């Protein structure tokens, strides 16, 4: 397998939805890809996207006051790709679990499914699925 092949993860989620229908592709970027989650909700927050699939995405959250229970609806999540465009979609939290600390800061990893995937969301997914990291 080439060094430029995307990394595929197959983690099972601990939600009532069971295993994912498809594998997630890990995001590779020199700059972490941020998602402003729940921009239309009560408490917007930044999450670092770590993987994506046609069904959903996974992200890391650092602030301890952010708790994401299964079934939580995150409305108007925004992803801005420099030089590309902005993408907006809703997510439903499937699971959240502690993640290894990053730079000494506690983190939580949450897996979410797309609630209203449209052409824009599919474009974002295709962008990641076709991305080949630079050497």
DSSP the chain: --TTSPPEE-PPP-STT-S-SSPEEEP--SSPPEEEETTTSSS-EEEEEEEE-SSEEEEEE--TT----TT-EEEEEEEE-TTS-EEEEEEEEEEEEEEEEETTEEEEEEEEEESS--HHHHHHHHHHHH-----
Please give the pLDDT value at position 134.
55
Please give the pLDDT value at position 24.
58
Range in 25-34, 40-49, 79-88, 96-105 with the lowest mean pLDDT? 25-34
Residue 73 pLDDT exceeds 80? yes
Residue 76 pLDDT exceeds 60? yes
Bigger pLDDT: 77 or 21? 77
| C-alpha atoms less than 13 angstroms from C-alpha of 58 in its C-beta half-sphere | 26
Closest CA to 128 of 6, 3, 4: 6
Residue 62 pLDDT exceeds 60? yes
Please give the pLDDT value at position 125.
82
Q: Which CATH number fits domain 8-130: 3.40.718.10, 1.20.1630.10, 3.40.50.800, 2.40.10.220?
A: 2.40.10.220
Residue corresponding to tokens 């790709």: 81
Residue 51 pLDDT exceeds 60? yes
Bigger pLDDT: 79 or 17? 79
Average pLDDT over residues 109-121: 91
Residue 94 pLDDT grade (very low, low, confident, very high; cuts 50, 70, 90): very high
Residue 13 pLDDT exceeds 80? no
State pTM to two decimals: 0.73
């Amino acid at each position: 397998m080439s060094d430029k092949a995307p990394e595929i993860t197959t983690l099972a989620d601990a939600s009532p939805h069971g295993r994912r229908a498809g594998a997630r592709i890990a995001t590779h970027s020199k700059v972490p890809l941020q998602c402003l989650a729940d921009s239309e909700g009560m408490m917007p927050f930044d999450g670092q996207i770590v993987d994506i699939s046609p069904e959903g995405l996974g992200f890391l959250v650092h602030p301890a006051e952010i708790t994401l229970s299964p079934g939580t609806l995150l409305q108007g999540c925004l992803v801005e790709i420099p030089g590309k465009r902005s993408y907006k979609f809703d997510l439903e939290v499937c699971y959240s679990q502690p993640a290894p600390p990053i730079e000494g800061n506690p983190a939580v990893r949450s897996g979410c499914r797309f609630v209203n995937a449209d052409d824009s969301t599919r474009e974002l997914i295709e962008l990641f699925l076709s991305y080949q990291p630079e050497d």
